[in-house]
A and B are shown apart, each in its own frame.
Chain A
């Protein structure tokens, strides 16, 4: 049963991921990404990481992809209008793909996973919290800071500048 579910979810994830990359219609691609995320969430559930699965659904499937769709629809991209790939793009993607493959292969060949201690065998909420607030406190803070910077950047970039005077704000009579 678990095997059957694993193959189903893995197939779903991979097939929809291919759809994301290959599809010319941006809406199809975004929905492919959604399906792919749902597949990954299913794989997480099979690994007893229900929390991770639902956070993935909540944040990425529920909000981030919705925003993607939002933008795609607002910009109204017409499918088929893209230019053919340039040689540089093809070369770069080939090198990138090769590096990724190499990375995965070397991970498979040489890597040594840290042995699981008894406390971490079952990923309870407490374990997640403890790790996030002790061992990985700095990375979490850094990621949060990065997101803040990105958000401020968006606010700065999207401000309408009207020449010398202050940017117009809404609600002025």
Chain B
């Protein structure tokens, strides 16, 4: 163990960061794929069918209990799907703008994987006994970085729609860009009360996501309360905007198959299409991660029961590795809960019409978000001296 640590410490910092980043992406990418399996299973469950449960390599069928279990879970369908994506004919339609057509799927992945760097996904107690975040870059402008980089995701949709040089993808791209820009505003405004709350007057001011979780890590009173309990409206606005930003039903205007064939990715096939798919799921994963950090206490197991206290109960205070793993498990558990909510909504709520989407964004959510901000600004100014 110590030999490994020594080898790690002797590496160049740039190499260290590269390894860390690749490790995080290496977890994110398969998770994005696994979400498609979860989606198929959840939709099957909701519609009362068994879902994918056939594919199995014959040598796995020989393992007594685990083999059939994995078969029923549909794990091999996921692998087969992945293989299919890579092995299919990679067709390139003749009427497209080739450069941008090929660039768009790559552009979809860049923001999806870049935002991961600033999202803390766990915590451990360092040598001084203080909580330290597990994050690639603990920026002071955390949430702003997430919004800024994820707002670049719109270009892949616009470019895919435009470069396809055909009617329906183009309409899909235009719709997507309008929708993404509209809902970004309510999304940004809805999280402001959270940051008003964590930044007491006199402090330096911080937009760090780690600080938000720290604030929710108290044991009593306001400091332990998760923000979903104190700011339910902000949480709802954020969640609705998140659905719109990730292009999920009921907001999947960009790929609405009833009137746009397949939307912006109509002309795409094989792994190029797969990249859009994985990017959408990565956005969902990061979006639910940010929601959990902002409103659900991050890696704290329960309101008023912070991670440190659990570490004390389980005697994990001086075992940063185990505590880190525990915090990641708690965080991922809450995140997966939200992935389920995404799917639950998708298979329950019918799709909005485009004008309804615009109306909801500009005439309902935006005023609501502004009102919410003003209400909490006054409330916090009034209450803050008292705690």
Q: Determine which of A55, A66, A70, A126 lies in contact with B148 in the assembled complex, contact meaning CB atoms within 8 Å.
A: A55
Answer yes or no: B158 CB below 8 A from chain A CBs. yes
Answer yes or no: B129 CB below 8 A from chain A CBs. no
Answer yes or no: B147 CB below 8 A from chain A CBs. yes
From 148 to 181 in chain B, residues with beta carbon under 8 angstroms from any chain A beta carbon are 148-149, 151-152, 154-155, 158-159, 162, 170, 173-174, 177-178, 180-181
If the complex has contacts A51-B141, A63-B184, A66-B177, are A57 and B151 also in contact, measured as CB distance less than 8 A? yes
Q: Within 8 Å CB of B139, what residues of A?
A: 50
In the complex, the answer to whether B181 meets A73 with C-beta atoms within 8 Å is no
In the complex, the answer to whether A62 meets B148 with C-beta atoms within 8 Å is yes
Q: Determine which of B14, B149, B184 lies in contact with A57 in the assembled complex, contact meaning CB atoms within 8 Å.
A: B149
Mark interface residues in A53-77 (1 if CB within 8 Å of B CB, else 0): 0110110011100110110011000
Q: Within 8 Å CB of B174, what residues of A?
A: 70, 73-74
Mark interface residues in A7-26 (1 if CB within 8 Å of B CB, else 0): 00000000000000000000
If the complex has contacts A66-B155, A70-B158, A73-B174, are A51 and B148 also in contact, measured as CB distance less than 8 A? no
Chain A minimum-CB-distance residue to B111: A62
In the complex, the answer to whether A125 meets B155 with C-beta atoms within 8 Å is no
Q: How many residues of A contact B (CB 8 A)?
A: 23
In the complex, the answer to whether B148 meets A124 with C-beta atoms within 8 Å is no
In the complex, the answer to whether B148 meets A58 with C-beta atoms within 8 Å is yes
Residue pairs across A and B with Cβ atoms less than 8 A apart, 6 shown, are: A34-B155, A51-B140, A55-B148, A73-B162, A125-B140, A129-B205
Q: A116 CA to B173 CA in the complex, in Å?
A: 47
- Determine how close the nearest CB of chain A comes to the CB of B152; give it in whole angstroms: 6
If the complex has contacts A66-B154, A69-B158, are A51 and B144 also in contact, measured as CB distance less than 8 A? yes
Q: Within 8 Å CB of B144, what residues of A?
A: 51, 54-55, 58
Q: Determine which of B152, B170, B181 lies in contact with A67 in the assembled complex, contact meaning CB atoms within 8 Å.
A: B181
If the complex has contacts A62-B152, A73-B162, A74-B174, are A124 and B181 also in contact, measured as CB distance less than 8 A? no
Known pairs A50-B140, A73-B173 / 20 extra A-B pairs, C-beta < 8 Å: A50-B145, A51-B144, A54-B144, A54-B148, A61-B148, A61-B151, A62-B148, A62-B151, A62-B152, A63-B181, A66-B181, A69-B158, A70-B158, A70-B177, A73-B170, A124-B204, A124-B205, A125-B204, A125-B205, A126-B204
Q: Within 8 Å CB of A50, what residues of B?
A: 139-141, 145
Interface residue range, chain B: 20 to 34
| Best-buried of B14, B100, B177 by chain A (most CB within 10 Å) | B177
If the complex has contacts A58-B144, A73-B158, are A125 and B184 also in contact, measured as CB distance less than 8 A? no
Q: A27 CA to B174 CA in the complex, in Å?
A: 14
Q: Within 8 Å CB of A55, what residues of B?
A: 144, 148
In the complex, the answer to whether A66 meets B204 with C-beta atoms within 8 Å is no
Q: Within 8 Å CB of B100, what residues of A?
A: 27
Chain A minimum-CB-distance residue to B202: A126
Mark interface residues in A73-99 (1 if CB within 8 Å of B CB, else 0): 110000000000000000000000000
In the complex, the answer to whether B207 meets A125 with C-beta atoms within 8 Å is yes
- Determine how close the nearest CB of chain A comes to the CB of B166; give it in whole angstroms: 13
> 9 closest A-B pairs (Cβ-Cβ)?
A62-B151, A125-B205, A57-B148, A58-B148, A54-B148, A126-B205, A54-B144, A124-B204, A50-B141
Q: A33 CA to B189 CA in the complex, in Å?
A: 27
Q: A1 CA to B13 CA in the complex, in Å?
A: 11
Q: A1 CA to B151 CA in the complex, in Å?
A: 28
Chain B minimum-CB-distance residue to A70: B177
Answer yes or no: B203 CB below 8 A from chain A CBs. yes
In the complex, the answer to whether B205 meets A66 with C-beta atoms within 8 Å is no
In the complex, the answer to whether B148 meets A69 with C-beta atoms within 8 Å is no
- Determine how close the nearest CB of chain A comes to the CB of B202; give it in whole angstroms: 9
- Determine how close the nearest CB of chain A comes to the CB of B267; give it in whole angstroms: 16
In the complex, the answer to whether B207 meets A66 with C-beta atoms within 8 Å is no
Q: Within 8 Å CB of A124, what residues of B?
A: 140, 204-205
In the complex, the answer to whether A66 meets B158 with C-beta atoms within 8 Å is yes
Chain B minimum-CB-distance residue to A128: B205
Chain B minimum-CB-distance residue to A57: B148
- Determine how close the nearest CB of chain A comes to the CB of B12; give it in whole angstroms: 10
- Determine how close the nearest CB of chain B comes to the CB of A63; give it in whole angstroms: 6
Answer yes or no: B53 CB below 8 A from chain A CBs. no
Chain A minimum-CB-distance residue to B103: A31
Q: Within 8 Å CB of A125, what residues of B?
A: 140-141, 204-207
